[in-house]
Amino acid sequence: FNASGSDYLSRTQGTPTDAKKYTFSTWVKLGRLKTDHDFMFGVRNDANNNNNFYFRSASDFVLTQENVVGGTAVGYFYTNRKFRDVSAWYHIVVAVDTSQVTSSNRVKVYVNGVQETSFSSILYPTLNSNDIINTSGSLIFIGQRGGSYGYLDGYMAETYFIDGQQLTPTSFGETDSVSENWKAKAYSGSYGDNGFFLQFNNSGALGTDS
């Protein structure tokens, strides 16, 4: 994705399998450290209703999620971990299930197969709330926030959206037996009604899904 070229993908969601549960998984490599944010994935219906996953710049370069409904923040996290290595691929998994009784189980964040547990700030969604990302009619964006802002400058690969399940990274990756590095593997489960897999293997139509 080239930020200066305003590259992004978008898709309108249909009726979800379960609007309380979904998993987003992608491999991402930043092209450069920008002065504005790098948005990977999210939905923006308007300024008062949006939910996005992105790398927040302004010198801290942390992985961030902000979920706003009716102008009020209903969920967010800001990792303490910094993402400043533009030579590295990161495997990011955000897995949501708002039906979980324990609040900390409602949103789980993983980087390279390991769950992130250190946050500078975090607010979990309320019990059994429907997530705007996985509701019918929501317009999701990959590579920007929506509204022509926060274009991603970098690379994405093996990008999945799974509707109706809160999954762990082992659905999408595994540890290499020789190098012991975390690596991608093919997902073999159900996608749900809104699910998709972006292979990015068609240079003429990078948004072709599977």
pLDDT tens, residue by residue, 16-62: 999 999 999 999 999 888 767 888 999 988 888 899 998 887 667 89
pLDDT in tens, 176-204: 999 999 999 999 999 999 999 998 877 66
pLDDT digits (tens, 9 = 90+) for 6-22: 888 999 999 999 999 99
Q: What is the average pLDDT value for the chain, to the nearest integer?
A: 91
Q: CA–CA separation, 155 vs 110, rounded Å?
A: 19
Tell me what percent of the residues of the chain surpass a pLDDT of 90.
Answer: 65
Q: Which amino acid is at 98?
A: T
DSSP secondary-structure letter at 104? G
Residues with Cβ within 8 Å of residue 205, at least 6 apart in sequence: none
